[in-house]
Structure 1
Amino acid sequence: MVNQDGDLMMRALACGIPLVETAAGVAYYRRLPTGQVSLSGKRMTYEGLVARIGILDKIARILEEQGRIEHYCSALASAFALIAADARGTYAGLQQEATERQRLYTPSALRRGVIRLQRSLARHKSTQADGREAAGQQAPEVVVSGLGHAEGVRPDITTAGETEALIPVAAIVRPAVSVVIPVYNRAHLLSRSLASVVNQTCQDFEVLVIDDCSRDDPAAVIRQFGDERIRYVRQPYNQGVAAARNRGLREARAPLVAFLDDDDEWFPEKLEAQIQLFEKAPKELGLVYTGVETVTDNGEVTEQVAAARGDLYRELLVKNLLHGGSSAMVRRNVITRVGFFDETLPAIEDYDYWLRISRYYKVDCIGRPLVRYHDLRDISTTQEASARRSRNIEANLRARELFYEKHKREMQAHGVAHLFLAQSARRHVSSEWHDAAGARRLALKAFFMAPASRYTQAALGKALVPRSKIDTYRRVFTRLS
């Protein structure tokens, strides 16, 4: 990674680790032979510029989470201005991206005046104190660095006209929540999900429709709404739903992010209820989910009430407590600690993300159903691409194996690895994917981990006795009785 040393140092400083200056050098900087380029020499390349923008975004999220962003807006704006200047004339897209962030963090004229006054007063007090303590001594040489140096450099990289055109922070309207909707070849369902967002009781939102390189036309559906709050972003090539959600997280401007699948819909008060819960909660709350109403294609309706809350990490190591991903709302700053969705998983990437969030943050819920989950079972009556990925049992089971390998140590440390394996074994013998061999393998593994557990015993019994034989024994027993 380019600039990884800068990434580490800036995160340390943002988290309160002091920087101590030594009187003498303690390291050597070796110049590479002619023709070779060091990592620091790549700071002006495309990769280097992207890394620098990403690091500043990360630092901004840390400062936002700590409630200190206001004090560093000017420094962030200057840093992004430097990147924009380095990209000028070579990478127009990166220049625009850096300039937009520069505008976002540029303080208003009033705020700049207050900052200058505060610094002037601080310098005056410092000078008076130094004068009292060292009267008659020659003043030491002043070394311009840090924020002072940034303020001095900034006029050299922006013209007067450009500076005046910058949008002050006070003039930028940030929505309360960003709604991320990945879509792939389901434009015919997108209208329903978008309508459920537009009709929310809370209207302070932006919608990011991330088109994962669909063959149909989601943009045409969006144009029908004529709503400027809906932003359409098309991926350069098909990368999967995890990558689409990650693109949405990177584009999101709000402090809260809600996820909605393109074939689900929300009840009108969903956003308002979750935002209110976040506003009253401490910063340790990272995720809020709701109950879910499930509707099958034959009209059958069931309700799942949400109840689990608090420290759910151990529970989520065993089982996903969030039914579907469309009920979740998270603080955008969870990315600072948790990162993004795992794009290597073929399924259950949302479950993996909720688990990782719960390791560092508390989870809360709204019990009543505020999401309508459309469970398409009869794929013969719909387009193949419209069938839910979660109905792709083979991909789901493969993802669970990868999930187990990823979190195995934590599962073992919490004493729940056998429970997760028993859950997976039951899925292998389900009526939708009858894999007796896979079920036996997982059930035996779980049983040897915890032979006294009734869960592993039950899972092993189901795996060893095929479902067809169980049905036969049940019919025989019914006749005899």
Structure 2
Amino acid sequence: MKSIKLSVIIPTFNRAQFLSRSVNSILSQDIDDIEIIIVDDYKKDQTEEIKESFNHLSCVKVVKSWAHRPSGARNIGVKNALGQYISFLDDDDIYLPGRLNNMLTYIENESEKLSFVSSGRLFEVNDFQKVMLDDSQKYGVIKLSDVLDCNGIDIGFMMRREFFNQLDGFDENLSSLEDWDLILRSLMISDGYKIERLDYAVNFEVDRPRVSLTQEQSRNSLADKYLFKFGKKWYFENKFKGLCESGEFNIIYGVKYLLHSSSFYDLKSFVYYTIKTLKGV
């Protein structure tokens, strides 16, 4: 049995129709010693249906998850992985040519120094009828301070499987933002690296439900989790952002969080959401 260099985990939740697109983007990477693990996280067992779609590909493995959230599904994927390195792909996103090769080459040379390797992302609508770029991305060495305000690392990062297991994987208490949490924990140990290439394509169609939901609740959970690590200012900034994302902006709580965060961005958001709330929009 040949050794597996890389395992790519794809969690899917009742969206089998998108899998061919994502799987083909992995196959186009031109890496031989790779396995693709599709994790069926739907409430009904669809593993046989998915297996039938890919039974002509020996590198594809399909496993069942009853976790019903992306953190648990991804952890189950890693538990079934054989690769020395792991990466992830959402079922409606794709890798552009060269992504995995570039990350694999870099992490093999620097794996003992880096917690992960990533590269740039772009957003596409309707199979690239429209493309949107994120100009705020930071490339090169990534330190903990670079991701405290927001997570600039997409879910398709590459990491040693052994290191992922040392981190105890994704926090399954989080229903979203579990990738940001993992990146934070990894950067507490060692720096990461982001290659200056735009080769992770995030599907941005608003009518497609994403795998990750309930961001407001998870942001509050992260704020509680890291209060003593990152301090009260960070805590209240994330509480405020969670309040803005909740869809039920509370002016009293907004004032409370704003007074502690002292952020100009939060002040602008407070004015916007206060006006919106008062207008009943």
Taking a change above 3 Å as real, the CA distance of residues 458 and 261 of structure 1, as seen in their structure-2 partners, is closer
Residue 126 of structure 1 aligns with which residue? none
1:179·1:258 contact (CA, 8 Å) conserved in 2? yes
- Separation in 2 of the partners of 1:428 and 1:299? 34
Letter aligned with residue 348 of structure 1: L
1:404 to 223, 226, 236: 223
Separation (CA, whole Å) in 2 of partners of 1:205 and 1:307 = 28
Correspondence for 2:266: 459
CA 1:443–1:402 in structure 2 vs 1: closer, same or farther (change >3 Å)?
same
Question: Is 2:107 aligned against 1:292?
Answer: no
Query: Is 2:249 the counterpart of 1:435?
Result: yes
CA distance in 2 between counterparts of 1:345 and 1:358 reads 19
Asked whether the 8 Å contact 1:186–1:262 carries over to 2, the reply is yes
Structure-2 separation of matches of 1:440 and 1:264: 38
Distance 1:423 1:309, change over 3 A: farther
Asked if 1 retains the 8 angstrom alpha-carbon contact of 2:85 and 2:161, the reply is yes
Give the secondary structure class of the aligned counterpart of 1:321: coil
Which residue of structure 1 lines up, in the alignment, with residue 210 of structure 2? 388
The percent identity for this pair of structures is 22
Which residue identity lines up with residue 409 of structure 1 in the other structure? F
Task: Please point out which of 30, 38, 44 is paired with 1:209.
Answer: 38
User: Residues of 1 paired with 2:210 and 2:143: CA distance?
Assistant: 27
Question: CA 1:387 to 1:368, structure 2 compared with 1: closer, same or farther past 3 Å?
Answer: same
Larger radius of gyration: 1
CA contact (8 A) 2:9 2:86 kept: yes
Change over 3 Å in CA distance of 1:216–1:253 after alignment to 2: closer
Q: Could you report, residue by residue, the CA deviation over 1:139-186 in whole angstroms, capped at 9, with x for unpaired residues?
A: xxxxxxxxxxxxxxxxxxxxxxxxxxxxxxxxx421110011111111
Aligned mate of 1:352, from 162, 176, 181: 181
Matching residue of 2:197: 368
Instruction: Give the 3 Å change call, closer, same or farther, for CA 219–374 of structure 1 in structure 2.
Output: farther
Alpha-carbon separation, structure 2, partners of 1:444 and 1:299: 43
Opposite residue 224 of structure 2, the aligned amino acid is E
| Pairing of 1:18-417 with structure 2 (within 5 A) | 172-215=1-44, 217=46, 219-225=48-54, 226-235=56-65, 237-297=66-126, 299-304=129-134, 306-310=137-141, 312-322=143-153, 324-325=154-155, 327-377=156-206, 379=207, 386-390=208-212, 392=213, 395-412=214-231, 417=232
Structure 1 stretches (4+) deviating beyond 6 angstroms? none
**Matching residue of 1:65:** none
Q: Aligned-residue CA RMSD in angstroms?
A: 2.7
CA distance in 2, matches of 1:425, 1:407: 15
Distance 1:404 1:190, change over 3 A: same
* Whole-Å separation in 2 of the counterparts to 1:402 and 1:233: 29
Change (3 A) 1:284 1:230: same
Distance 1:219 1:267, change over 3 A: farther
Quick one: which amino acid aligns to residue 271 of structure 1?
A: L
The runs of 5 or more residues in structure 2 that have no matched partner are none
- Distance in 1 of aligned mates of 2:242 and 2:143: 22
Name the TM-score, length of structure 1 as normaliser: 0.52
Match of 2:233 in 1: 418
Aligned-pair CA distance for 1:422:
3.0
Q: Letter of the aligned partner of 2:130 in structure 1?
A: E
Q: How far, CA to CA, are the matches of 1:220 and 1:458 in structure 2?
A: 47
TM-score normalised by the chain length of structure 2:
0.86
Q: Which has the higher helix share?
A: 1
Residues paired across the two proteins, number: 274
Q: Greater strand share, 1 or 2? A: 2
- Give the residue type in structure 1 aligned to 2:216: L
Q: Which amino acid aligns with 2:266?
A: A
Give the letter for the 1:356 counterpart: R
Structure 1: any 5+ residue segments left out of the alignment? Answer: 1-171, 380-385, 448-455, 473-481
**Higher relative contact order by CA 8 Å / sep ≥ 6: 1 or 2?**
2
